[in-house]
Every structure is written in structure tokens, then in C-alpha cells.
């Protein structure tokens, strides 16, 4: 499933490939987030033109509407949404964190109140996997227990041990002809807990491994430190996925340390809110300084937004035309995919350290 094509000579950055039932993904890669089976505001042909090879959908939300049985009866998630390339579904574990006020949890699993209609929903690990099997994604994430950071060691250890127990239950119930499972490493910012979780999950021999429970309240440096003390204990012959991260500089820091796969809502959400990513930093296109700006968002970008002037794009947002959020979303997704393409080339040429330093010295923080 995973092939290491090249290791950068001066960093831990890896150039690889991920084989799935619906095609090959070039690594490192960024997955646009399509929570409900659609990347907001972007038609599939437009999404393909950004360079995206794999997208992420959400188990919890799709199970609420239209329901996994509906999607299964309509031919599975790929056919349902028209995306015939690789797809990953997350497990619902993040909803344990984000919907904490509507949720109760014990070793059996989580019990939610639907944020839509208030009905009770039980989500044990076995149910999470059966939903994902009905959806028919290429990669299913095991159910994990995410907690806010910072937190006490006892809370972190309890969530980490539960994550390991749930991972085994997810593995034992799996029964899909091509769907592969990725386990999720928890443990907060505690090096010993992260090591213990990584080692225990490695013994269960999953197809891939994710680092979860980050970008939930810690500083960027704390996140990078967590990667530094977690990645050495992750299998080198399996793909490594950093969940829910993030800004371009966060992603490059992950690649530098040996991460292969990323996802985040940032390029789409920020695009809808008039923020465009460029190599020199984020552009807030509503700002008055762009009213008469004839330049594209970024020279050399092939996306349709960059065929227009900054002044025109600003006008679309000021006039509340829906084309504005659509164009900036497409631009941001294209930017992220171009960043991944440049990263892969730099790794192949043993120049990722130089690429990383050049990028970080030119970009302005968001």
C-alpha cells in the first residue's frame, strides 16, 4: 500500500506513494476536506484541476444525513458524490472532542445528541467501522478519544489507553474487501504517552498511522515537539498522517519531520472568508488597499481566480457575490496542491531543507 520512493538526504522528509483501490496518491499530499461528501463551493472538475488526488469525508455527519444506508444503496460514497479517486473517512473521533457538550463517553463508546434534531446516537468503535464500510471509502480511520490541550496526565493517559483498546476493536470487526484502516496515536504533549501509544498500535499492524489530538489548543512549537518525539516510534514502512493540520508553514514543518499526509478545512474556510494564501503570506482581499490593484493573487498560479485582478475579487466580496468565495476557495486549494508538488520535487532533489528555509523566510504569519 505504501512505497517509499526517496528519503531527503538532509532531513526526515519522505517522497512516497499510497496505493488504494481507487488510484495512487503521491506523497506528501494534502487532502481537501469534504465533510458531507462535497468540498464546499467547488464542483468536482474544478477540484480535480486544483491537483487534488484524495479527499476526506466525515463518518459522523454522513451517518446523520443522508445516512450510510442511503449512500450504500446509491452505490457507495464514490459513486454517490461522483469522485472516482481515493477517499478517506474519519471515524467520528473529532466529534467526541468538538461536540463534548452533547456527548457522553465510556469504554463502550460515545453517545451523542444529534446537533441537527437532538436524537440519541450511539457510536462505539464497531459502529464507526460499519458506517465507514457502508460508505465504501478507501481508508477508514479507527475511532479514537480526543481531548483538549493542555490537560492533566491522568486525562491524557485515560484517553490514550482507550484509543488503543478501541483501535483493536476496530481492527477485529473489519470486513471490507478493499478498505484499509489507519490507527490514530494519542497522548497529548506527553512524550512517554505518545511513545507507548505508537508502540502498542504498531504491534496491531495497521495499514497506516495517524497522529491525532494536535491542533486542539497547543502552540505550534508544542505541536512540532510532539511530532519530534512521536514520529521515531511510528513504522517507517507505513504512511504517516497528521490530522487536521493546517497552515502552510505547519504542513512544511510536518513534512520536514517525516509526515506524509495532511488535511485541514483552512484553505476552504478561509477562502470563503476572503483570505487567500500566497507565498508571501495571506491576503485579506476585502481590505481597501486592493480596490484598484490590477495584480493577480499570485503570479504564475494557474487557477481561475488568478486570471482576475485583486480589485475584481475584492469587488465580488464587497458586493456579496457568491463567485468570490468560490474563486478564493479554488485558489487556496490550488495553492496547497502546488505547495505539495514543490515539496515532492524538493525532496527528490535532496533540497527540502533549502525549500523549507526559503519558504519560512518569505512568508508573513496569518
Active site residue 90: yes
Neighbours of 9 (CB within 10 A): 12
Distance of CA 310 to the CA centre of its chain: 29
Exactly one of 138, 144, 190, 263 is catalytic; name it.
Answer: 263
Instruction: Using DSSP, state whether 110 is helix, strand or coil.
Output: strand
Residue 237 class from Cβ within 10 Å (0-12 exposed, 13-18 middle, 19+ buried)? Answer: exposed
Backbone angles phi, psi at 104, to 5 degrees: -120, 145
CB 73 within 8 A of CB 91: no
Exactly one of 8, 90, 144, 190 is catalytic; name it.
Answer: 90
Question: How far apart are the two ends of the chain, measured CA to CA in Å?
Answer: 36
Crossing angle for the helix pair 191-203 and 220-230, nearest 10 degrees?
A: 40
| Bridge partners, 105 (sequence order) | 110
C-alpha cell recorded at residue 186: 494519542
Distance CA(335)–CA(314), nearest Å, equals 19
Closest CA to 261 of 86, 40, 62, 43: 86
C-alpha cell recorded at residue 362: 518569505
- Kind plus residue range of the DSSP H or E element containing 241: strand 240-242
CB 160 within 8 A of CB 133: no
Distance CA(241)–CA(255), nearest Å, equals 10
Task: Tell me which DSSP letter residue 247 carries.
Answer: S
Active site residue 263: yes
The residues, any chain, with a CB within 8 Å of residue 327's CB and separated by 6 or more, are: 303, 304, 305, 308, 313, 316
Catalytically active residues, by annotation: 90, 263
Amino acid at each position: 500500500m505504501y512505497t517509499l520512493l526517496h528519503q531527503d538526504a538532509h532531513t526526515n522528509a519522505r517522497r512516497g506513494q499510497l496505493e488504494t483501490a481507487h488510484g495512487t496518491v503521491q506523497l506528501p499530499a494534502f487532502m481537501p476536506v469534504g465533510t458531507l461528501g462535497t468540498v464546499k463551493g467547488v464542483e468536482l472538475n474544478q477540484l480535480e484541476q486544483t491537483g487534488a488526488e484524495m479527499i476526506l469525508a466525515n463518518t459522523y455527519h454522513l451517518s446523520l444525513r443522508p445516512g450510510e444506508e442511503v449512500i450504500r444503496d446509491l452505490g457507495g460514497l464514490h459513486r454517490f458524490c461522483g469522485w472516482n479517486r481515493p477517499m478517506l473517512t474519519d471515524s467520528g473521533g473529532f466529534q467526541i472532542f468538538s461536540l463534548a457538550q452533547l456527548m457522553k463517553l465510556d469504554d463502550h463508546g460515545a453517545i451523542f445528541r444529534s446537533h441537527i434534531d437532538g436524537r440519541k446516537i450511539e457510536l462505539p468503535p464497531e459502529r464507526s467501522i460499519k458506517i465507514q464500510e457502508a460508505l465504501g471509502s478507501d481508508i477508514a480511520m479507527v475511532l479514537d478519544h480526543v481531548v483538549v490541550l493542555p490537560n492533566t496526565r491522568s486525562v491524557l493517559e485515560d484517553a490514550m489507553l482507550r484509543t488503543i483498546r478501541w483501535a483493536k476493536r476496530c481492527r477485529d470487526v473489519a470486513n471490507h474487501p478493499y478498505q484499509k484502516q489507519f490507527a490514530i496515536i494519542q497522548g497529548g504533549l506527553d512524550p512517554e504517552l505518545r511513545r507507548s501509544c505508537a508502540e502498542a498500535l504498531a504491534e496491531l499492524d495497521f495499514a497506516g498511522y495517524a497522529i491525532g489530538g494536535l491542533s486542539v489548543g497547543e502552540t505550534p512549537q508544542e505541536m512540532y515537539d510532539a511530532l519530534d518525539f512521536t514520529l521515531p516510534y511510528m513504522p517507517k514502512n507505513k504512511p504517516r498522517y497528521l490530522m487536521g493540520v493546517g497552515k502552510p508553514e505547519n504542513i512544511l514543518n510536518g513534512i520536514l519531520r517525516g509526515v506524509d499526509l495532511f488535511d485541514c478545512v483552512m484553505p476552504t474556510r478561509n477562502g470563503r472568508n476572503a483570505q487567500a494564501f500566497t507565498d508571501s503570506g495571506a491576503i485579506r482581499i476585502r481590505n481597501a488597499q486592493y480596490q484598484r490593484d490590477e495584480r493577480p493573487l499570485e503570479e504564475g498560479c494557474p487557477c481561475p481566480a488568478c486570471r482576475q485582478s485583486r480589485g475584481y475579487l475584492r469587488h465580488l466580496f464587497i458586493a456579496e457575490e457568491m463567485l468570490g468565495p468560490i474563486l478564493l476557495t479554488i485558489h487556496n486549494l490550488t495553492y496547497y496542491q502546488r505547495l505539495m508538488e514543490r515539496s515532492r520535487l524538493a525532496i527528490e532533489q535532496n533540497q527540502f531543507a533549502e525549500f523549507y528555509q526559503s519558504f519560512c523566510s518569505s512568508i508573513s504569519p496569518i
